A and B are shown apart, each in its own frame.
Chain A
């Protein structure tokens, strides 16, 4: 009896193994998918209800779904050893295009992409495209920062802008610099004070940082973190603030002047349709105001009609390319020239930005 049972178990194991093998061969050999079972998978780093980063990616997914394409998502996937399994499971379970929406998924995404050459991968905010089926994409958030800088420079009474920063990576430093440059243009006395919180999402820490900046005289607060705590702290203290990643206006209706909104929906829909129709190609996308990947929330009426008009014009000029966020002359903190007069910073320089411009206080943590 026992022997028979063992044999049966063994047979089942082999059967499963062969099924696995056959499906693997099938996946490798036949890349043509019928449109009916084309599926797109999403991996999120946070919960879909974070009102920030993940929330916006989820909105993008909803748009893909609305375009008639089946989607699946897995939320709150830690950026450690678990990410690779989740991405692989999505690839294995018949997803044809997979969006991995956090920087920490960069290596796992490339690892899985190697084993599934017929599945397309899209990694947000990374720089590694080790296989031809991996694309990367990000948004020119710094264009939004330029608008915030212009507004902040006009609105501040204390000439001090408080900035809650996450990690000293080029994306964050670019935002600080773009904002400071724009603010200086309308108000030469502007100073940018920075608190590094070393987290993307920690309401407690973010609120403390906001309070510390307010205590140091900042009357405009902005954040490169994802929770709504800073804008709520600003609302309580009666200072100005800006929403991050999604429209946070309802969390601080008096304080928020506008929000930078990440709008992934058009890109996700475009890429999903391309993958379904077989026209998907590897690329490195960096879209901004022009393409609509960066959008602005409603402007607070407290800004006054003139300023709103000014900012709307600047938004148009940034989108058309008439104005560039990093137009020379730009100096670093010591006064060395970074971008000569009349020139604009190229994408290579922007992608690797690792020094502050003049007017930013403090040092980049090392």
Chain B
């Protein structure tokens, strides 16, 4: 008798289980994290407490969690449009950066000016900036058949270098001793704070609006239907006569606008100026968020909070227990790994067969 492993596709995957697996992934991540902490010589319960509970045990912590989750949620919402329709936009980081450049440019244009219209203009400019930047890989894909993964990824570096150039050269603060940063924006182009003393700002409403709007578009409109069908089967979409090219352009534009909004929210919110470090790779982390949230608008809210917590937790754990801060990245990696693993087991059956020796020989 020889044991043999056979992998089979499951025919009917219950929808409830599909939305439940992210929770399993998170629980496994926490268990995995506990084991890692134990191996590193920390008390796992205490370490996990500092990781997942301490950061949000007061109002300031909750505000920071929402502040951190806002850009992740916005970008992931945008990405869900692309990913649902089989368009692999990997360059949200670049679209975020370009949106911040355009929005920041407008904010600098209105430096030291008053006016209620300035902030909306800055935000709008940021969204347009991100949209334009996302259109580049979309147009190249639709009309020149290029690979959008490569193009959108490479454009990240283009936008970062452009930002470097601007903050070092033409846009640098004239009173700033040539340090690579612009002036602090005037109050008229800063996001209003929601509570005195906390950093959470009006940008969170942009994220919530994006969630609502995306739910409406994806589940209640013809465009949403087209997106979902194209995602499930491109051939079916073509057969049904959907205009593929327009749809590709539209999903990239939505995605880019969301990333641009995230960028402009950061620079007009907590940062208040343009410099070289406006985003700690939110555009890439949002890819994890989008998948952890099952590309579902409400799932993404939840996922962005979880991933934001891994950032805060890593800081708290280092402050209180001197656990290396890179464990935050380990947690993010584990979440994605366990999610993919549980997906595999969800969609495929693993059977162990016992065959007789002569059955093997042919």
- Chain A residues packing against B (C-beta within 8 Å): 16-17, 20, 41, 72-82, 84-86, 88-90, 92-93, 103-104, 107, 115, 127, 167-170, 198, 352, 354, 365-366
Contact = CB atoms under 8 A, between A and B. Distances in A.
Contacts of B322: 72-73
B271 A81 contact: yes
Contacts of A86: 315, 319
Given A80-B279, A81-B67, A365-B168, A93 B180 contact: no
B47 to A, nearest CB: 16
Contacts of A17: 58-59
Nearest to B276: A79
B325 interface: yes
Contact of A76 (B58, B64, B272, B326): B326
Interface string B298-335: 00000000000001100110111010111000000000
Interface in B47-72: 57-60, 64, 67
Contacts of A80: 266, 270-271, 275, 277-280
27 contacts: A17-B59, A20-B58, A72-B318, A72-B322, A73-B322, A74-B318, A75-B318, A75-B325, A76-B325, A80-B266, A80-B278, A81-B266, A81-B271, A82-B311, A88-B60, A89-B315, A92-B60, A103-B179, A104-B275, A104-B277, A115-B197, A167-B168, A169-B177, A169-B178, A198-B180, A354-B177, A365-B168
Contacts of A127: 177
Contacts of A89: 315-316, 319
Interface in B258-306: 266, 269-272, 275-280
A90 B278 contact: no
B343 interface: no
A269 to B, nearest CB: 20
A74 B58 contact: no
Contacts of A84: 199, 270
Interface in B176-197: 177-180, 184, 197
B178 A170 contact: yes
A198 B315 contact: no
Given A81-B269, A81-B271, A170-B178, 11 more contacts: A20-B59, A75-B324, A77-B315, A78-B280, A79-B275, A80-B280, A81-B67, A86-B319, A92-B60, A104-B277, A167-B168
Given A127-B177, A167-B168, A198-B168, A78 B277 contact: yes
Contacts of A74: 315, 318-319, 325
Nearest to A79: B277
B246 to A, nearest CB: 36
Contacts of A76: 325-326
A54 to B, nearest CB: 12
A85 B64 contact: yes
A136 to B, nearest CB: 13
